[in-house]
Amino acid sequence: MRYGYIRVSTREQNIDRQLTAILKENIAMNQIFIDKASGKDFNRRKYKSLMRKLKDGDELYIKSIDRLGRNYDEIIKEWNFITKEKNVDIIVLDLPLLDTRKKYNDVTGKFIADLVLQILSYVAQIERENTHQRQMEGIREAKKRGVVFGRPKIKIPENFHVVAEQWKDGEISLRKGAALLDTNHTTFERWLKQNGYK
């Protein structure tokens, strides 16, 4: 049996491009499973229904690998579950190397597809690391130019010591002192510690 799987991240996104590609493979409309959900994990209603339907020898068609999911480590786990445990072939229409049915010079499609997925996972990991490195370098350069990150420090009010003495003498509570300084009790307590009152 042939099945198709389509995923878009939101209800507003259009499925036409994926649907057209899968229908060209002569897959019946009632054999196409469509999720309008994030690709962050595989906890999707129609995807789960599809997994229950798939049987040994079936074929699963998807337009591109990112329709399966976003995280390559998770994709590889799911790919292995489908191809090895369920013994179902996967055909990724946009990337012919990800077609587990084919043989290339006596090398099975499953083996080639596994290699391609590992390479894609590696490339994605390197790109994540490079992105992080670029962000860190950008932050360092911005700090050199005097850019300050985070919320600015709240300046201690001029009447702080008067209020702090009242708190120390037990005349007012922590919350009352904070209210007099127009701040919250956590900030007032921090100021008290910083200035040796606690």
Kindly list the distances between the CA atom of residue 166 and the CA atoms of 83, 149, 175, 194, 195, in Å, as whole numbers in the listed order. Answer: 73, 35, 12, 17, 14
**9 is annotated as an active-site residue:** yes
Decide: 187 and 174 in contact? Cβ < 8 Å: no
Task: Specify which residues 104 forms β-bridges with.
Answer: 107
Q: Within 10 A of 169 (CB to CB), how many other CB atoms are there? A: 8
Q: For residue 115, how far is the Cα from the chain centroid?
A: 23
What single-letter DSSP state applies at residue 29? Answer: G
Q: How far apart are CA 1 and CA 172, in angstroms?
A: 77
Considering 9, 38, 64, 121, which one is annotated as catalytic? Answer: 9
Catalytic residue list: 9
